[in-house]
Amino acid sequence: METLIQIGYLVALVCFVLGIKGMSHPDTARRGNWTLALGMGLATLVTLMQPGLGNLPLILISLGLGSWWGIRMSSKAQMTEMPQMVSLLNGFGGLAAALVALSEVVDMFYGDAMANLLMEVMGMGVLGQYYLLFYVVTLMISLAVGGISFTGSVMAMAKLDGKVSGQPLRFPMQGLVTNGLLVIMLVLTVAIATWPSYTLPLIVILMILSLVYGVLFVLPIGGADMPVVISFLNSLTGLTAATTGLLFDNRAMLMGGVLVGASGIYLTMLMCKAMNRTLGAVLLGQFNSGSGQAAREMSGQIKEIGLYDTAVLLAYSSRVVVVPGYGLAVAQAQHLVHELEKILAAKGAECKYAIHPVAGRMPGHMNVLLAEADVSYDLLVEMEAINPDFPLTDVVLVIGANDVVNPAAENDPGSPIYGMPILQVHQARNVIVIKRSMAAGYAGVENELFYDPKTRMLFGDAKAVLGDLIQAIKGL
């Protein structure tokens, strides 16, 4: 049976690796997703085959309820709610790992875990003492990091969902309080490992402080940085799963946690690079300070354009680039923009989509949104590849994007977003911006693009505007 269990875990790990590989490209993403699901299902089944597993009816009931809720939640979630759902599920992963660690703590005090552990290290001498210390410290890390990941992910979800303000929330001496909590948790971990007689109350305090720290950790971070925060918390959840798997000699949990942790931190660094920010600046809720100058005031006038003029301009253009943003996702207008693209292509125009690495509310948000509307992946062009084409582009249609097309990131050293790589749409011959209002983006700064002489504003809901625009082009 033991050999069969280990083989099952090995196959599950292979599924994890192949699944992640498949998720790297849209053509194989669906298969990769199913492969990952198969690996997780197999790992769960193999775990249920462990000898001596107790409370099997309760475990099966929990699995059934969790599966039912997961299917129900995912089937009802809109594309705009995907970041919130990802954040929530990630938080549950951290909570699960923390609860596993907590159950081991309870077993150490009220069960046989401590006696079994002492029997394992008996006769190992100094090495046994180091192993015992390592076991306790790793257990505390799983407990604390899992708690931080849970409440931090829930807070990130609340910010993305609008239940908590997306603006950075700060209070007096916030840095001192949060850093102080972190130091206290480190001291508690050392104390738990060295003062066994006071372990249980100290562990309770550590768990509470980790939950509080997760909230305070996310509060000062603005909504624009939530994708980075979610990715970072995802890596923390992976770390928690890996340490928990190490404790219980569960290879699937260990390797799965390593894969999640490594991919999460790598994705975090890629997004920070795309925003020209350091991870420390993001986690401290700081935008780039530039040269310390004040951001310059906008000059020029906002110019509007009518629906008919927009239709004529697009219909007689040779090259059109669409820049999708969160506003497109909110309006659920991805199918209409795909219809517009097909109409323009039928008239002989070359139509592409410019994708910024941090557009939307999560990595790949725009790619998934457009894939839902069956937009060809070949038409999605990343920032580095599309920027050289803008000077030769007749019309750029910006739909719901803001900070990722703001020229201030390149030419205003006093701007908070200075240095962030952007889509250089201001170099195109004409720019049309579909937007509800003149509200600033998540960075909280005005967009210089809107005041550019080549830019025209087409105000309104993206779905309604695109629907009318399609009819107007058909009527030409």
Spacing of C-alpha 110 from chain mean position: 39
The yes-or-no answer on residue 112 being catalytic is: no
Distances (CA, A) of 39 to 33, 48, 195, 252: 10, 14, 41, 9
Residues 266, 20: Cα–Cα separation, whole Å: 14
Task: Starting at the earlier edge strand, list the strands of the sheet with 455-459.
Answer: 380-382, 350-355, 319-324, 395-399, 430-435, 455-459
**Beta strand residue intervals within 112-153, DSSP E:** none
Residues 277, 443: Cα–Cα separation, whole Å: 13
- Among candidates 403, 417, 416, which has minimal Cα distance to 447? 403
Angle at 310 between CA 306 and CA 316, to 5 degrees: 150
**Amino acid identity, residue 349?**
A
SS3 assignment, position 14: helix
Residue 330, both tokens: 């909110």
Question: 411: Cβ–Cβ under 8 A, 6 or more apart, which residues?
Answer: 448
**Secondary-structure breakdown of the chain: helix, strand, coil percentages, each rounded to the nearest 5:** 65, 5, 25
Residues 166, 441: Cα–Cα separation, whole Å: 11
Residues 67, 40: Cα–Cα separation, whole Å: 12
The answer to whether 355 and 365 have CB atoms below 8 angstroms apart is no
Active-site residue identified among 403, 412, 452, 461: 403
Active site residues: 403
